[in-house]
Structure 1
Amino acid sequence: MIKPINKDTMILSRPCQPATKADLGLASDLRDTLQANADRCVGMGANMIGVTKQVIIAQLGPFPVVMFNPTIIKKQGPYQTKEGCLSLPGQRPVTRYQKIQVRFRNENWQKQELSLDGFAAEIVQHEVDHCHGILI
């Protein structure tokens, strides 16, 4: 189901609770909401749709990937960039890393790891920040 985008910075700036198997249904809402905003959005955290759980979705190439309890376990190549966010007006400067490795649970609750670089890595870093209540 397409959900409204949360723009309340008080909620967005709170760290999210770990996701459990009971939260697997969030994948569908995140996928639908991302698709509805595809013209201006490439990822989102569950808190952007009003659910303060550690769940994100990132458009990685042609496929949206949902990650439960994502953790960045390696990062290298810091650089400065500007990012926007569907929940916030304008763009802001931020430090990101060119290459990352992220550990998470997939939609079958299986442990996964992905190595990402470039824009895909930037998307995941932005969304993982949402899980920690970090706003750009």
Structure 2
Amino acid sequence: MADLLEIAQLGNPVLRQIAQPIYDVKDGWVQSLVDNLTATMLESNGVGIAAPQVAALYRVFIVASRPNARYPQAPEMEPTAMINPRLVSHSSGTAKDWEGCLSIPGIRGLVPRYEAIEVEYTNRNGKLQRQELTNFVARIFQHELDHLDGMVFLDRLETVQDIITDQEYLKRVVP
């Protein structure tokens, strides 16, 4: 049974540290971390979560787009563990859209991200995966990858005018 983990909040120094690679994906602790990350994300209505957000400085995150109270328009996908992920290539075009973060509750930011990306990662079974991600799922990947490099979405804002509270977001932005 997976454990729910405490999510580090903005200001916790762990969110500004660089995560380390995972060398043996099949180690029991890696599998437990993946299960615990997934359970914690689902319980928190997230669509992604990175290991540094639970004070585990390893290069792994979960991407799990699905409609929920925080993202009612999100497309549906199975939760996917991405270990030692990397961005292989990206579109020239970027788009700005609203992002929130489990480590920064109560606010959203209008963040520019690449619209299409090619990524590579190892899955939880140790198989190297390469795929193209677009739109919202590409945004989740880039957001979580930032966490592995000690960044949060606020670092990507073009102006502080691009910040909104969750309450205003749900009133003004979500149809």
Taking structure 2 as the reference length, the TM-score comes to 0.72
Are 1:27 and 2:42 an aligned pair?
no
Residues in 2 aligned to 1:19 and 1:93: alpha-carbon distance in whole angstroms: 32
Question: Where does 1:75-114 land on structure 2 (aligned, <5 Å)?
Answer: 75-76=90-91, 77-89=93-105, 90-114=107-131
- Match for residue 57 of structure 1? 62
1:67-97 Cα deviation digits (max 9, x unpaired) = 0010011111212233111101412332201
- Match for residue 18 of structure 2? 15
- Match for residue 148 of structure 2? 131
Cα offset, 1:26, TM superposition: 1.3
> 2:14, 2:53 within 8 Å by CA — same for their partners in 1?
no
Structure 2 gaps of 5+ residues are 66-75, 154-175
Greater share of strand residues, 1 or 2? 1
Cα offset, 1:24, TM superposition: 3.1
Residues in 2 aligned to 1:104 and 1:52: alpha-carbon distance in whole angstroms: 17
Name which structure has the greater RCO, CA cutoff 8 Å, separation 6+: 1
- Match for residue 122 of structure 1? 139
- Give % identity: 31
Residues in 2 aligned to 1:127 and 1:118: alpha-carbon distance in whole angstroms: 14
Taking structure 1 as the reference length, the TM-score comes to 0.91
Q: Which structure 1 residue ranges, 4+ long, deviate > 6 Å from structure 2? A: none
Cα offset, 1:66, TM superposition: 0.4
Cα offset, 1:31, TM superposition: 1.1
Q: How many residues align?
A: 134
